[in-house]
Amino acid sequence: MFIKVTTSGGRRYIQLVESYRDESGRVKKRTVATLGRADQAGGQLESVIRGLQRLRGDTPPDASAVATVADVRFESSRALGDVWALTELWDELGFGELRRVFGRTRSRIDVEALVRLMVINRLCDPTSKLGVLRWLQTVALPRFAPKEVTHQQLLRAMDALVEHQDRVQAALAGLLRPLIDQDLSVVFYDMTTIGVEGETELAGDLRQFGMSKDGGIRRQFMLGVVQTAEGLPLTHRVWEGNTAEAPTLHAVVDEILALYPVKRVVLVADRGLLSLDNLEWLQAVRIGKTAQPLEFILAVPGRRYG
């Protein structure tokens, strides 16, 4: 049985209806009872509902404990979907294993959790470290209480990340190897410039003045990224802002071959990596301890060779 609302003469009526099968097996409906007009049946409906609850053995709720629509107020909400999905992906990829790497630090903070927080923020709403704290107040991030995180903890987590960079890279490579085609891997290498602000100078500072990608001279550092043909990032390196692109190729190729022991690699890079020294070196590179050469595709300036 179910409730059905019908309209007649401009008024709405409430009926209790049941479904049944006739002698030929066809499904039909019939009215069991008419409960009256919708605008006048409030008290009668409450009596029917309480009677049905008693038949089922249910305890009717205390009227004083039931909130009406007028009592309900919408104050605020937190975003859940994207941060929940990314947390699940983080766990599925096994990145929680980074706890073992950071477990060797002298810090008492949960570095893996803080790094996870900053990575998810970078994917959802990239902002500064202070901005991460404000963003955290707007989301329901699993396994996180917003008041437990401070700006200083985020900075200390970044220090730990840099301090253990090599071990983090090795751990991530171990997790990503099953996702890499062991027979043939096409990898793309590119560099870009990351402009920075500020005038302070530190010993060994990566922030140096150099030619940026937009053609001007500015304070910056260089970022090199290697990824698969499917867009999966494999490794990255940073250099001083006045570093030429071509000399960076050797270190990156050596690192890729050491981290990901595949049988065949095709390296693709743009014209910024083109030099006679690089061509000679690439032709001499062998994969692992085999005679398999490293294959490569380097772009050339069209205006020069066209």
CB-based contacts of 108: which residues, under 8 Å, 6+ apart? none
pLDDT band of residue 282 (cuts 50, 70, 90) is: confident
For the chain, the structural domain boundaries read 2-71, 81-167, 182-197+205-305
Taking the C-alpha atoms of residue 182 and residue 58, their distance in angstroms, rounded to an integer, is 62
Give the per-residue pLDDT at 41. 67
Q: What's the pLDDT tens digit per position in 219-275?
A: 999 998 989 888 888 888 898 999 888 788 888 888 888 888 788 888 888 887 788
Q: Are 234 and 241 in contact (CB under 8 A)?
A: no
Residue 17 has pLDDT above 90, yes or no: no
Both tokens of residue 237? Answer: 């390196």
One-letter amino acid of 100: R
Taking the C-alpha atoms of residue 246 and residue 191, their distance in angstroms, rounded to an integer, is 10
Residue 48 has pLDDT above 80, yes or no: no
Among 66-80, 130-144, 235-249, which is the least confidently predicted range? 66-80
Q: Are 105 and 111 in contact (CB under 8 A)?
A: yes
Dihedral (CA of 167, 228, 97, 257) sign: negative
Give the per-residue pLDDT at 114. 94
pLDDT band of residue 72 (cuts 50, 70, 90) is: confident
% pLDDT > 70, the chain: 92
Give the per-residue pLDDT at 151. 95
0.85 surpassed by pTM: no
Residue 106 has pLDDT above 80, yes or no: no
Residue 78 has pLDDT above 80, yes or no: yes
One-letter amino acid of 101: V
Dihedral (CA of 158, 164, 165, 169) sign: negative
> Among candidates 187, 295, 272, which has minimal Cα distance to 231?
187
Dihedral (CA of 127, 133, 135, 139) sign: positive
Kindly list the strands in the beta sheet with 2-8, ordered across the sheet, starting from the edge strand earlier in the chain. 2-8, 11-21, 27-37
Q: Are 53 and 60 in contact (CB under 8 A)?
A: yes
pLDDT averaged over the chain? 84
- What CATH code is assigned to 182-197+205-305? 3.30.420
The secondary structure of the chain in percent helix, strand, coil, rounded to multiples of 5, reads 40, 25, 35
